[in-house]
Amino acid sequence: MKTLHFHTNLKCAGCVAAVTPKLEGIRGLDKWQALVDAPDYNFTADVDSDEVSTNIVDAFKQAGYEARLV
């Protein structure tokens, strides 16, 4: 298991709720946490492999948000 860190444009619980359904279907994503008040990175994900990061970025795009691996 590996933890990845992302900088996103999530600002509130409503933003997190919009992204959640897109993240739930990602194979290899074990658990994740969004911290909307964190200054450096505000999304962490425990994943099986680095390749899952592309699926996370795509899920954010599908929900109308941005995610960038830090």
d(CA 58, CA 41): 18
Under 8 Å between Cβ of 68 and 53: no
pLDDT digits (tens, 9 = 90+) for 4-51: 999 999 999 999 999 999 999 899 999 999 998 877 779 999 999 989
Check residue 39 and give its pLDDT.
74
Alpha-carbon distance of 29 to 11, in angstroms, equals: 22
Task: Give pTM, 2 decimals.
Answer: 0.91
Predicted local distance difference test score (pLDDT) of residue 17: 96
Cα(3)–Cα(48) distance, integer angstroms: 9
- CATH class of the 2-69 domain in this structure: alpha beta
User: Which pLDDT band holds residue 2 (cuts at 50, 70, 90)?
Assistant: very high
